[in-house]
Structure 1
């Protein structure tokens, strides 16, 4: 799973999911991109599941770029624990995704395959997605 090697502070606030993505809103590296249409947190496990789907299709003929990284820690307290006692331990890591963010880019496949891959990846993610092409910009 993806996670940072070290961070300045282990435990983070939840933050807000307001506004559009500041950068990474267009395809730069590959022919096709998968863009988020709504805000959310994408966990490192979900990124890995999407990577496995995409790499199996583009392994021999193409290339894959992952443009999100899970650098936000999410804490969780154990089940059946009384209130108090401070914030829980770090449970997993997430990437904060805002609308317009291109999460994955890939090349080396035809358009029909790219549309099918976008549909499969969309089932693994907690946000709605759409496919972008390099010509759309």
Structure 2
């Protein structure tokens, strides 16, 4: 399970509004990537469950990279508590996913294995995903 962030400037955050497109939108570390097609909030349990589904299918072959980290504190008030008396305590941590964000990357496996592993992991996530292949730049292709 992913641990909460070690230190944050403020222990509670406001919700904010999710708008715009993702910054982490290219496959950088691996050969294949899982890209979000939707907008949602991803908590540590969902990330871990998707990661486990992938690694279990791949039988620990290849290398997987997790490109997201739950760093936004989500607060929650206890059940049956009246309104007022301030904001609730931090319940869990989450990551705000925008369309185009790369969630996971895989290296050292075939495309068929990567597709199936991502399909199994996508079942654990609350949004649709796309399969991406790493685009070879002109410099990389000429050197090999």
TM-score (norm: length of structure 1) = 0.92
Show the counterpart of 2:127.
127
Q: Is the 8 A contact 2:58 2:117 kept in 1?
A: no
Show the counterpart of 2:9.
8
Instruction: Note the alpha carbon deviations across 1:65-94, whole angstroms, 9 max, x for none.
Output: 100010000000000111111000100000
Show the counterpart of 2:117.
117
Once residues 117 and 136 of structure 1 are traced to their aligned partners in structure 2, the CA distance between those partners, rounded to angstroms, is 22
Once residues 116 and 49 of structure 1 are traced to their aligned partners in structure 2, the CA distance between those partners, rounded to angstroms, is 16
Which structure: larger Rg? 2
Show the counterpart of 1:33.
33
Unaligned 5+ segments in structure 2 are 138-144
Instruction: Note the alpha carbon deviations across 1:50-78, whole angstroms, 9 max, x for none.
Output: 11122224454310110001000000000
Task: Work out the number of aligned pairs and report it.
Answer: 136
Instruction: Note the alpha carbon deviations across 1:5-49, whole angstroms, 9 max, x for none.
Output: 11111110011111111x211111111100001111100000111
Once residues 60 and 71 of structure 2 are traced to their aligned partners in structure 1, the CA distance between those partners, rounded to angstroms, is 30
Map residues 75-94 of structure 1 onto 2, 5 A cutoff: 75-94=75-94
SS of equivalent residue, structure 1 residue 48 = helix
Show the counterpart of 1:67.
67
Once residues 20 and 79 of structure 1 are traced to their aligned partners in structure 2, the CA distance between those partners, rounded to angstroms, is 35
Unaligned 5+ segments in structure 1 are none
| Moved >4 Å (runs of 4+) | none
Q: Is the 8 A contact 1:32 1:106 kept in 2?
A: yes
Cα deviation for residue 117 of structure 1 reads: 1.4
SS of equivalent residue, structure 1 residue 117 = helix
Which range moves more in the overlay, 72-81 or 111-120? Answer: 111-120
TM-score (norm: length of structure 2) = 0.88
